Structures are given as C-alpha cells and as structure tokens.
Amino acid sequence: MDAPLLESVPNVSVGRDVAAVDALVAAVRAGAEAGAAVDGSRAVVADVHRDSDHDRSVLTVLGRGEALARGLEGLARAAVAALDLDAGHGVHPRVGVLDVLPIVPVDPDDFSGARACAHELVQRLGRVLGTELGVPVVRYGLDAHGLPIDGAASTGAVRRGGPAGVAARIAAGELDLVAGPPQPHHTAGVTICGVRDVLVAFNVDLDVDDLELARAIAARVREAAGGAEALPGVRALGLRLASRRIAQVSTNVEQHGACGPARVLETVARIATELGVGVSAAELVGLAPDSALAPLRYVCTGLGVPLLAGAAPSLDEAIRAAS
C-alpha cells in the first residue's frame, strides 16, 4: 500500500538570489528522484513563491514515502550548505536558513495514517538536520494527539524574542528539540519543524508607504488582540516593502474554514478605509484550498482589488494530481 500523501511547505531565508532558489528546488527534485527509485513513490514541487522584499521563498511540495522524505532531506542539506542566516536582510522574521519546515497531512483517504506518518517524517528530518548537520530543530504545531504544543503552537510563538530569545529558551528547556545541539548553528541558525493543519498564507498590500499604519491594522485583526475586530486563527504582522514603497499586512490564516482570507481582506480593507487609505492588492503565498479561494476571488472582485497569485493550481487540484 502507498504511504499516505503529505504536503510540506518549507520556508527558506532567500528570495533575492534567483539562482540560489532554483538550486534549492533542484535539490528537492533530485532527492525525490532518488527516493522514487527506492520505493516507487513520487513527490512534486507544486509551487515556488519567491519574494525579494521578504528575502524569503516558500516551496509547496506534495508527495509520499521515500520520494518526499529524500526530497526534503536534499533541501535541508542544500540550504545549510549554501545559505547564511546573517546574509539575509528581508523584512520577514527568521531564525534559520531553513526557517520553517512544516509537514501537513492531506491524504483524503487516510488522514489519521497521514498524521502518524507526518510525525515520523519530522523525526527523520530532525535526525538529518540535528544529528548530521548540527542545526537545532525546534518542534512546533500539533502533538501526536492533534493538540497544539504549549508555547510552540505557531512559528510566531517559537520565534518570540528573535534568534537570541529562541537560543535562550532552548537552553532553558522551554522549547522542545526534535534533535540537534542546544546552540544555534553558526550560519544556519535554527529550524522550526513540526506537524500542522492546512493554513493559508495571505498578504494585503496597502496603497501607502506607512509601516506604523500597517502594524496598527495588524494589531487590530490578529486573534491575540482579543477585540471586536480580532479574527479567529489569524496571525498578522505589519511590514514595509521597500522595493514597492508600500506597507503590507502579512497574515497566516490558520482556521480557514472558520475565518478565511476573504474575511481577512474585507476586515483589513474596512479598517484601512476608516484610516483614510486604500488596499492596492491581495496576495496568496503558496497554495490555498478551493473552499478558501472561491470566496476570496469574489471579495477581490467586489472590492476591485487584484489577487496576486502564481499560475499554480489550488491545493485541492494539486492533491488530486498527486494522489
């Protein structure tokens, strides 16, 4: 029987160097080919989102078995060998060159099996990163029972305090290491790795170059705000995109079934209007499920806001193609 289908969405801390991103994608594909030769499995890079202002790239990889495992192992080795955490100067927070390595169960026919397989893959990747490469691997997301890990349910929770804060919390035993030393790697930093559910990474561009305004809007819509405008399952940051001379509200939508990117866009646009500014664009980072895409496209049309997305299919289409 085939291994369950999994999605991985590695976030690597390089977005300006096109050749470097291409080399990382090639490493995934080479590893996947090697894995396919072992057990006949398959893994594909379904999408690559590269952002120069964030100096970050987000890959979407779908696959099974040895193909997926060896593809991600190849990415880990290539990222640690080629990238230096101190060389990146993007606006997105980061603590490692392979900053986030989530594993997402998406098998429509065996979700429970996929979740167990996802946790096994985290352990395997931890051995490569932590034992072989000397990069501390911090566990985040969901535990084996599907419950949020206390203090590490999201990447934002892990990154609290920045690289120095993460190092101190590892040393104090506040963060659980999958594998690796208690000190960050001298060039690769730390990798945040774990099992999570599907989320939608979604950005809203404002038509002004005002970082503080973007931060103010983000503070009102993020779930942790707790106010009337706080959106469930939404984590938000205000950022400035220097190359485009605009500010951006960057979000992770973690409960898209209850509050999808369409509601995020409507809320951000309403608050922005109250503050006397407009919304210039909406942007998907990676793949989103059909249930989130359809309402988002409808709201974009109603607001007259272009939706920036790659030519890749929806997550549902990519899953069907990989199944």
Give the catalytic positions in this structure.
92
Match 């000397």 to its residue by tokens: 134
Q: Is there a contact between 237 and 53 (Cβ–Cβ < 8 Å)?
A: no
CA distance 30 to 20: 15
List, in sequence order, every beta strand (DSSP E) within the chain. Answer: 6-8, 11-12, 43-51, 56-63, 98-105, 137-141, 177-179, 191-195, 200-206, 234-241, 246-253, 279-285, 307-308
Q: How many CB atoms lie within 10 A of CB 162?
A: 11
Q: Which amino acid is at 290?
A: D
CA distance 41 to 320: 15
